[in-house]
C-alpha cells in the first residue's frame, strides 16, 4: 500500500520542517518575537492611512460625472462642510469670522459662501477638497482636531463623507478593542473546555494574538502602497483570531493524541505537522483562494478587504507551521500540565464514546440523516430570494457619534439632501431641463445651468428632499433620469451607491464561479478524488444559502426586533459577497480536517464505512471546538461592531455553526456512506488509485 508521490512529498517536507523547528526552537521563537517587537508600532497605527474610498466603479455613470465636474468653471462640489450652530446669530457670525482666516490659509481647501439657517443661528460652509478621497480623510481628521469646538454658546462640527470615515476610524479602533476584549477570554474558556489543560489552551491563543498583531503591521505597510478600506482592520482581526486558533487547535490536538499513543515528543510533533499540518496548509490555501475570488468584483474597496483577510490567513498558517511547533517542542510532554478537571475532557483527538456512537448511528441510517440535514439547511435558505441590499455610510457610525449627530441635525435644518445634489450633464437644452427638473416630485431646488469650459456641455444640479443613501432618494433619481432623457448623464451620491451595489451584487456570480472552480481543484489535489471535492462545494453552498436566509430574516424582516434590536430593513451591500467568499474559505478548514482524517483511515484499511466512521469519531470533537471558537469570535464582533460588521459576523457565525454541525457531522458522513467506493474514484487510475486492500474490502 502506498500514497500519492506529491502527497508524500508534502508530508515529508512538513515532517522535516517539524524536526528543523524542534532543533532550532530558540531561534524560531526569537525570530517571531523580533518580528512582533519590530512590527509593534506599525500594528498600533494600522488605521492611520486607511480610506473610506476605493468604492468607485470604473466606467460607471457616477464616476464619469465626477470626472467631468472639473470641466465646469466655478463648480467644485463640497467634499466637506463646516457646520456652526449658536445660541444667537451674533455668536454664529463671530465664530465664522474667527474661522475664515484658517480656512483661507489652507491652499488645498476652497471655502464657499456660508449658508445661514434657522434665522442665522446655524450656518453651513461648503469646503471643496479635490485632492483625493484618502487624503480628504486625513484633511477631515486635521480639521476636526483643529476646528471642532463645543462651548455653552456655539458649536462647530465638520461634516461630509471624508469626515464620516475619519470619525469611523476612531470608532473602529474602539470596536476592535472591545471585540478582542470579549473574544479572547471566550476563546480561552472554549479551549480550556476542549483540552482540559491550561498549557494546551494557551498555545492556540498565543498564536491568534501573534498572527493578528503581526497582520496589523502588514496592513500598515500595505496601506502606504495602496488604498485600503477602513473596514480591513476589523475584518482581518475577526477572521485572523478564528483561523489562527483553529489551525493551532488542529495541530495541538493531533500532537497530544500522538503523545497519548506512545510516541516521543519529537515523533509526535513530526507526525502532527505531517498530518494536521498538511490540513492547515491546504486549508490556508483554500481560504486564500476563496478570498481571492473577491477580486472578480471591480471595486477596490472589496479587493482591499480581500487583501487584508488573505494576509492574516497566510500569517496564521505560517505561525501554525513554524511558531507553534517551536512552542510545542519547548513544552514537550508538559503540554498536558495544569489540568482543569472537566467531566467531558479527553486527551488528544479522541472523540470519546459519544462521537463513536454518533458515527455508528449515521453509518447505519445514512439516507434519513442526509435528508433531514439537507432539508433543514434548505428551510433556513427560504428567505434568500427576498434579499434586498443597500449601503448607508452614515449609519455605520453610532447615533451619538460626533459626525453622525451633527449631520442629522444639519439635515433637520437644511433638508436631508443639503450636501449631495444630483448632477445632470447634457449637451443642449439646459434651460428646458432645469424647468422639467423643478417639476419632478422630490426635487426641492434646481441650480442655474453652468456651461463647460469647452462650451459643449451644460451642468444642472438638483437638490432632493431625501437622504442620498435611501430608497426615496433612488426613486427621485429615477424620476430625474426620466425627465432628463436618455442622452443626459446623471451622477451624484445616490447614483454612486447604485453603481457600487450593481457592481458588487452583480458580481456575485463571478465570485461564485471562481470559488467553486478553484476550491474544487485544491481539494482534488489533496484528496485525489473526483466526487469528494464536488460534494464539498455543493454542501458549502448549503451553508452560504442558509446564512443568507438568516441575514434576510434578522436584518431585513426584523425577526429579532422583539429583543429590542432595530433591524435596518436591508442587508448591507458588501455583506453577501464577503459572506460567500469567507464562508467557503473557512468551511474548508473543517472539510479538509475531516476528509484528511477519513482518507487516512481509508488508506490504512480500505473500508469506506469504517473510514468514515473512524474519521468522524476521531475529528468531531476538534471540529466542534474549532467551530465554537470561530462562532465566539464572530459573536464578540457582532456585539461590538458597526452595523455592516455586525451583519457580516452574524452571517459568518450562522454559516460556520451550521457547517460544523449539520454539514460536517451529518450531511458529509451520510453522503460519503452512500457513495461508498465512489468517494475515492479517480479517472485513469482504476484500482491503482485505491489502496490494495480496498479491492478486497466491502466497499460500503
Taking only the tens place, the pLDDT of each residue in 120-173 is 999 999 888 765 555 677 788 888 999 999 998 999 999 988 888 888 888 888
**Averaged pLDDT for residues 35-49:** 88
Q: In this predicted structure, what is the pLDDT of residue 169?
A: 81
224, 241: one domain: yes
How many domains, in total, are found in the chain? Answer: 4
pLDDT in tens, 15-33: 899 999 999 999 999 999 9
Judge whether residue 386 has pLDDT over 50.
yes
144 and 272, same domain (yes or no) = no
Name the packing angle between helices 608-640 and 161-195 (round to 10°). 140
With b meaning 16 or more CB within 10 Å and e meaning fewer, what string describes 204-214?
Answer: bbbbbbbbbbb
558 and 578 fall within a common domain: yes
Q: pLDDT tier at 685 (50, 70, 90 boundaries)?
A: low
| C-alpha–C-alpha distance, residues 197 and 188, integer Å | 11
Residue 351: is its pLDDT beyond 60? no
Q: Are residues 627 and 645 in the same domain?
A: yes
pLDDT tier for residue 338 given thresholds of 50, 70 and 90: low
Looking at the structure, tell me whether residues 187 and 312 fall in a common domain. yes
Q: Is residue 608 part of a domain?
A: yes
Q: Which of 469, 503, 537 is the last residue of a domain?
A: 503
Phi-psi region of 528 (alpha: psi -120 to 50; beta: other; left: phi over 0): left
Compare 74 and 265 and report the one with higher pLDDT: 265
Grid cell at residue 560: 429579532
> Rg of the Cα trace of the chain?
29
335, part of any domain? yes
Give domain status of residue 477, yes or no: yes
- Please report which confidence band the pLDDT of residue 111 belongs to, taking 50, 70 and 90 as the band edges: confident
The verdict on residue 420 lying in a domain is yes
Claim to verify: residue 19 and residue 112 sit in the same structural domain? no
What pLDDT shows up at residue 6? Answer: 43
Q: What is the mean pLDDT of residues 494-515?
A: 91
Percent of the chain at pLDDT above 70? 93
pLDDT value for 596: 81
* Mean pLDDT across 669-698: 65
Q: Is 598 a member of any domain?
A: yes
Q: Is residue 53 situated within a structural domain?
A: no
Q: What is the CATH number of the domain that holds 24?
A: 1.20.1640.10
Q: Would you state the pLDDT for residue 695?
A: 41
Which of 112, 140, 165 is the endpoint of a domain? Answer: 165
Tens-place pLDDT, residues 432-474: 999 999 999 999 999 999 999 998 999 999 999 998 888 899 9
Question: CA-to-CA distance for 233 and 251, rounded, in angstroms?
Answer: 27
- Stretch among 21-25, 198-202, 296-300, 479-483 having the lowest mean pLDDT: 198-202
Q: Is the pLDDT of residue 300 over 80?
A: yes
Confidence at residue 684, expressed as pLDDT on a 0 to 100 scale: 62
What is the reported pLDDT for 691? 45
Distance between CA 422 and CA 319 in Å, rounded? 50
Q: Are residues 140 and 193 in the same domain?
A: no
Interval 519-532: pLDDT, tens: 888 888 877 888 88
Q: What is the mean pLDDT of residues 616-627?
A: 84
* pLDDT of 544 higher than 90: yes
Whether residue 389 is contained in a domain is answered as no
* Range in 308-322, 546-560, 621-635 with the lowest mean pLDDT: 621-635
pLDDT of the residue at 133? 53
Placement of cell 490494495 in the chain: 692
| The pLDDT value given to residue 371 | 94
By percentage, how much of the chain surpasses pLDDT 90? 38
Residue 185 to residues 201, 205, 636, Cα–Cα distance (Å): 11, 9, 10
Q: Is residue 254 part of a domain?
A: yes
User: Are residues 482 and 534 located together in one domain of the fold?
Assistant: no
Which structural domain range is residue 669 located in?
A: 528-700
Task: Judge whether residue 198 has pLDDT over 60.
Answer: yes
Residues 233, 146 share a domain: no
Mean pLDDT confidence for 556-568: 86
The set of cell numbers assigned to 214 is: 503581526
Examine the domain organization and report whether 408 and 420 are in the same domain: yes
CATH code at position 73 = 3.30.70
Q: Which of 626, 625, 156 is nearest to 410 (CA)?
A: 156
Q: Which helix (H) or strand (E) holds 111?
A: strand 110-111
Q: Say yes or no: 582 and 602 in one domain.
A: yes
Residues 536 and 323 sit within 8 Å (Cβ to Cβ): no
pLDDT band at 339 (very low <50, low <70, confident <90, very high): low
* 3-state per-residue secondary structure call for 32-53: HHHHHHHCHHHHHCCCCCCECC
Check pLDDT > 70 for residue 690.
no
Tell me the pLDDT of the chain averaged across its residues: 86
CATH assignment at residue 631: 1.20.1640
Residue 288 clears pLDDT 60, i.e. is over it:
yes
Write the DSSP symbol of residue 575.
H
Last residue of a domain, one of 106, 131, 165: 165
81 with 176, same domain? no
Amino acid at each position: 500500500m502506498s500514497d500519492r508521490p506529491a502527497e508524500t512529498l508534502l508530508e515529508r517536507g512538513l515532517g522535516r520542517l517539524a524536526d528543523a523547528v524542534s532543533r532550532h526552537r530558540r531561534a524560531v521563537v526569537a525570530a517571531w518575537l523580533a518580528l512582533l517587537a519590530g512590527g509593534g508600532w506599525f500594528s498600533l497605527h494600522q488605521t492611520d492611512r486607511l480610506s473610506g474610498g476605493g468604492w468607485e466603479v470604473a466606467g460607471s455613470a457616477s464616476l464619469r460625472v465626477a470626472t467631468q465636474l472639473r470641466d465646469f468653471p466655478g463648480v467644485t462640489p463640497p467634499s466637506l462642510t463646516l457646520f456652526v450652530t449658536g445660541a444667537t446669530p451674533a455668536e454664529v457670525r463671530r465664530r465664522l469670522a474667527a474661522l475664515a482666516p484658517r480656512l483661507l490659509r489652507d491652499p488645498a481647501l476652497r471655502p464657499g459662501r456660508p449658508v445661514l439657517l434657522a434665522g442665522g443661528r446655524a450656518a453651513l460652509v461648503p469646503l471643496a477638497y479635490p485632492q483625493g478621497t484618502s487624503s480628504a480623510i486625513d484633511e477631515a481628521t486635521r480639521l476636526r482636531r483643529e476646528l471642532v469646538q463645543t462651548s455653552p454658546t456655539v458649536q462647530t462640527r465638520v461634516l461630509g463623507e471624508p469626515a464620516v470615515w475619519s470619525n469611523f476610524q476612531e470608532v473602529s479602533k474602539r470596536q476592535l478593542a472591545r471585540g478582542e476584549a470579549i473574544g479572547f477570554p471566550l476563546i480561552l474558556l472554549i479551549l480550556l473546555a476542549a483540552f482540559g489543560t491550561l498549557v494546551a489552551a494557551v498555545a492556540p491563543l498565543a498564536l491568534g494574538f501573534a498572527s493578528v498583531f503581526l497582520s496589523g503591521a502588514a496592513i500598515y505597510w500595505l496601506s502606504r502602497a495602496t488604498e485600503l478600506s477602513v473596514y480591513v482592520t476589523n475584518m482581518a482581526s475577526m477572521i485572523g483570531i478564528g483561523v489562527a486558533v483553529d489551525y493551532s487547535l488542529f495541530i495541538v490536538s493531533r500532537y497530544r493524541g500522538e503523545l497519548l499513543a506512545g510516541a516521543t515528543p519529537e515523533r509526535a510533533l513530526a507526525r502532527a505537522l505531517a498530518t494536521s499540518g498538511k490540513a492547515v496548509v491546504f486549508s490556508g490555501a483554500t481560504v486564500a483562494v476563496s478570498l481571492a475570488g473577491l477580486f472578480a468584483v471591480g471595486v477596490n474597496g472589496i479587493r482591499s478587504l480581500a487583501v487584508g483577510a488573505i494576509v492574516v490567513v497566510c500569517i496564521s498558517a505560517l505561525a501554525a507551521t513554524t511558531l507553534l511547533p517551536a512552542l510545542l517542542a519547548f513544552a514537550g510532554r508538559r503540554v498536558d500540565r495544569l489540568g482543569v478537571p472537566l467531566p467531558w475532557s479527553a486527551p488528544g483527538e479522541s472523540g470519546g464514546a459519544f462521537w463513536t456512537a454518533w458515527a455508528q448511528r449515521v453509518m447505519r441510517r445514512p439516507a434519513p440523516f442526509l435528508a433531514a440535514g439537507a432539508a433543514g439547511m434548505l428551510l433556513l435558505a427560504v428567505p434568500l430570494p427576498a434579499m434586498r441590499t443597500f449601503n448607508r455610510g452614515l449609519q455605520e457610525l453610532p447615533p451619538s457619534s460626533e459626525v453622525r449627530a451633527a449631520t442629522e441635525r444639519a439635515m433637520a435644518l437644511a433638508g436631508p439632501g443639503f450636501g449631495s445634489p444630483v448632477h445632470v450633464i447634457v449637451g443642449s437644452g439646459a434651460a428646458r431641463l432645469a424647468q422639467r427638473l423643478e417639476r419632478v416630485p422630490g426635487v426641492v431646488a434646481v441650480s442655474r445651468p453652468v456651461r463647460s469650459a469647452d462650451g459643449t456641455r451644460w451642468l444642472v444640479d438638483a437638490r432632493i428632499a431625501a437622504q442620498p443613501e435611501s430608497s426615496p432618494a433612488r426613486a427621485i433619481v429615477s424620476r430625474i433620469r426620466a425627465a432628463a432623457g436618455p442622452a443626459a448623464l446623471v451622477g451624484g451620491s445616490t447614483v454612486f451607491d447604485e453603481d457600487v451595489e450593481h457592481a458588487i451584487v452583480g458580481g456575485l456570480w463571478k465570485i461564485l464561479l471562481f470559488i467553486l472552480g478553484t476550491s474544487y481543484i485544491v481539494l482534488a489535489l489533496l484528496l485525489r478524488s473526483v466526487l469528494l471535492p464536488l460534494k464539498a462545494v455543493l454542501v458549502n453552498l448549503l451553508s452560504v444559502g442558509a446564512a443568507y436566509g438568516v441575514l434576510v430574516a434578522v436584518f431585513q424582516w426584523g425577526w429579532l426586533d422583539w429583543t429590542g434590536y432595530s433591524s435596518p430593513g436591508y442587508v448591507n451591500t458588501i455583506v453577501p459577497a464577503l459572506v460567500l467568499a469567507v464562508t467557503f474559505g473557512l468551511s474548508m478548514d473543517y472539510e479538509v480536517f475531516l476528509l484528511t482524517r477519513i482518507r487516512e483511515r481509508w488508506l490504512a484499511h480500505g473500508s469506506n464505512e469504517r473510514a468514515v466512521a473512524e474519521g468522524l469519531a476521531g475529528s468531531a470533537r476538534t471540529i466542534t471546538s474549532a467551530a465554537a471558537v470561530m462562532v465566539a469570535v464572530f459573536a464578540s464582533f457582532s456585539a461590538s461592531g458597526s452595523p455592516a460588521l455586525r451583519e457580516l459576523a452574524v452571517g459568518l457565525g450562522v454559516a460556520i455553526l451550521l457547517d460544523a454541525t449539520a454539514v460536517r457531522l451529518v450531511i458529509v458522513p451520510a453522503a460519503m456512506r452512500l457513495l461508498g467506493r465512489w468517494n475515492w474514484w479517480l479517472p485513469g487510475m482504476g484500482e491503482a488509485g485505491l489502496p490494495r486492500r480496498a479491492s478486497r474490502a466491502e466497499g460500503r
